Amino acid sequence: MGMKKKTFMAAAFYLLCFLSLLVEGFDRSDFPDSFLFGTATSSYQIEGAYLQGNKELSNWDVLSHIPGKIDDSSNGDIADDHYHLYMDDIELMHSLGVNSYRFSISWSRILAGKLVLFLADLFVHRAKNQTLCIKYKYGGWLNPEIQKDFGYFAEVCFREFGDRVKYWATFNEPNVMIKRGYLVGTYPPLHCSAPFGECLSGNSSVEPYVAAHNVILSHGIAVQIYKKKYQAKQGGRIGIVMSATWYEPLRNLTNDWVATKRLLAFDVPWFLDPIIFGDYPSEMRQILGSNLPIFSSKDKKKLRYKMDFIGVNHYTTLYVRDCLYSPCEVADFNGNAFTYTTGERNGIPIGTPTAMPTFYVVPHGLEMMVNYIKERYNNMPMFLTENGYAQGVSNYTTVKDFVNDLDRVDYLNKYLGMLLKTIRNGADVRGYFIWSIMDNFEWLYGYTLRFGLYHVDFTTQARTPKLSAMWYKEFLQGSDSLLKAD
């Protein structure tokens, strides 16, 4: 048998094995025609060019240069060099067949960089959904003054780009930003107090809730500006994006069931209840008392204009143990909720572990999370704004290992199938975005985790499609497109 024929047979077998993973009884045609399928990125994680375009330093520019803060001692100075390679990256998205792209605007690049040509060009070629970012000054989110500044930043974006952006999100994962920044102190501005962390300043019992209050009111101001001045003529929609982990009781005990409900309230409803209903969840009031701010009549006026959708970033499900009635030895990420979270019960993982700590493959958690938000917020339109799978990096990992990401294909396939189930059961979900189009700087993990559909060589900046990119393309365009591409 000739070498050419052997190669063809091997390729055919490989393709058949790959396509066999796609047979789950659904495809793109099962979703509504108007459904948005896309990929997601974040400005600091991909752009690089941190001193170009008259950009000021962001809080992550500063943090990533502090020794010991990033796992691999890396930073986002270059990252994917998307600032210079954005046209190539847009073509990667076009080749997949996505109809939308979710990305973020950095405050430090917009207001310092005077609306640089880079962003204007990017909007011309691909702009469907937008998330706003912030920087810290004069005490950052602890100072009510930031509400006015955020409103100004938002209006600059609405005015300059609103004719091309149809979906705006005021904040991405403010619940993570606040917990990491003001409770455990691992994110900017590095505020915390014992027993949650060792920081130079901060008060973990008070500051998270003051900062969150200002975030919520800043969101309200941005929504008000958009609704009053821009929405009618631009025809877009505005919402907010929340990190949404699903939680289940560790033990079949009443205290753990109550603790699970309590922790859920301390997460997504912490922000959405005030925005939608006008006040914080009762579970938070009962625990925090006077440490939880009160919405004044002036505050409530800032929240009178209602948003149009909820963005949901969902990756994982965890177990919850009560720490209110049976104290836990370890203070964790959710300390003020008096809970402890874990991915294991009696040594058995809740789902298949991934390279990202606390991220497990638990597809039914997506269904539970979507239904929870659906029921709590009267089935407000939702977008699954992030969902993805982490690969780990080691001294022995090769490019071939990254490219043959069958585990990611399996993960995305299962989670998309579960999302379709929720839609068929009445959830008003209108879009799905994979995190991420390409490997990038993953915050405190640096480049030790890879979530991309495309592998990135951070030395040469070469982008290589992984199996998951081929899978997504096949899902969106059909198997004929995949066969032709090969």
- Strand residue runs (E) in 134-276: 167-172, 237-243, 246-249
SS3 435: strand
Two tokens, residue 40:
């997601």
**Measuring CA to CA, how many Å separate 131 from each of 166, 311, 484?**
11, 10, 35
Amino acid identity of residue 309, one-letter, is: F
386 is catalytic: yes
Specify whether the backbone of 72 is left (phi greater than 0), alpha (psi in -120 to 50) or beta. Answer: alpha
Distance CA(229)–CA(216), nearest Å, equals 20
Q: With beta carbons less than 8 A apart as the criterion, state whether 230 and 156 touch.
A: no
Q: Choosing from 173, 207, 367, 474, which is the catalytic residue?
A: 173
Give the number of other CB atoms < 10 A from CB of residue 200.
Answer: 8
Cα–Cα distances (Å) from 321 to 118, 266, 334, in that order, read 48, 14, 11
Question: Which of the following is catalytic: 283, 367, 386, 442?
Answer: 386
Alpha helices in 235-332 (DSSP H): 254-265, 268-277, 282-288, 297-302
Which has the closest alpha carbon to 243: 93, 358, 393?
A: 358
Contacts 24+ apart (CB under 8 A), 49-52: 49/78, 49/81, 49/83, 49/84, 50/76, 50/77, 52/83
For residues 110 and 262, what is the distance between their CA atoms, to the nearest angstrom?
39
Which helix or strand (DSSP H or E) is residue 318 part of? Answer: strand 317-322
- Give the span between the Cα atoms of 179 and 202, in whole angstroms: 12
The helix (H) or strand (E) run that includes residue 83 is helix 82-96
Determine the angle formed by the axes of helices 268-277 and 254-265, rounding to 10 degrees. 60
Active site residues: 173, 386
